[in-house]
Amino acid sequence: MPTALKNHRPVRTRSPFFINCVPTTGETIESATLTVKIKNGSRSSSGTTLKTYTLSKSNAVDGIIVFDLHAPKVLQDLPVPVAFTSAMPELAKHLQETVKPDFILSPDKGAIDRASEVAKAIDCEFSYLEKTRIDAHTIIHKAKNLDVDGKIVAIVDDMIATGGTICRAAEALRSQGAIEVHAACSHGLFTGGAIARLIRYVDGVHATGSLANPRDVISGGPALARGVNELFTTLKWD
């Protein structure tokens, strides 16, 4: 158990809650695979798809902790407090210690906040790719202010599913002189042979253990501990 959680006394009147919210392939953003400890002590199946809004309205939980949720705005206006937590600080530390990147790249505009946070923590350059759809089957990735010749680059995203976007980004980086390309994310779904595909394009794949995956090299525990502490403070459970 993370040190940050050991200092909290058990709450007798209400059971603490824990939700690991990780979108899985085929689900909508509004739905996610949830592992939930309900107030009465029962536990939902980790494979059950639930609507977060329904969960909160049913009075099943007092609050929700979400870990690097792809689209936080979908949880606005819930009747219970929500703590948004992120493993980007731990991801940045891991990359700095093992990869030593010169450049952080966001694969699209949606990951800019997370990738720029990592770049700031490492104190290195940052940019992102813009997607331009040519037709139904063709997407071109263009970089803004990209100068990666002779540099080690880490592509940072919240999750990697099939790895297609990462592979195309890696191709663009290689063509502009990057000497190493790494992929890093919070949620490693790695579906449809993604790992086999990725290792043909990148020098390393790095993910947290938010769900079981073969590239679990970054602990998500500290991030979840921060979320628990924030929610305990909000609910005055200290």
Phi, psi of 229 (to 5 degrees): -60, -45
Q: Is 37 a catalytic residue?
A: no
Report how many helices (DSSP H) and strands (DSSP E) the chain contains, helices first: 7, 11
Alpha helices (H) along the chain: 3-6, 52-57, 88-98, 112-122, 164-175, 194-198, 221-234
The three-state secondary structure class of 103 is strand
The three-state secondary structure class of 182 is strand
Q: What is the DSSP letter of 77?
A: T
In Å, how far from its chain's centre is CA 140? 24
Alpha helices (H) along 59-189: 88-98, 112-122, 164-175
Amino acid at 200: R
Choosing from 120, 131, 142, 151, which is the catalytic residue?
131
Q: How far is CA 115 from CA 33, 77, 103, 119, 134, in A?
A: 24, 27, 10, 6, 26
The three-state secondary structure class of 116 is helix
Q: What's the longest Cα–Cα distance across the chain? A: 60
Active site residues: 131
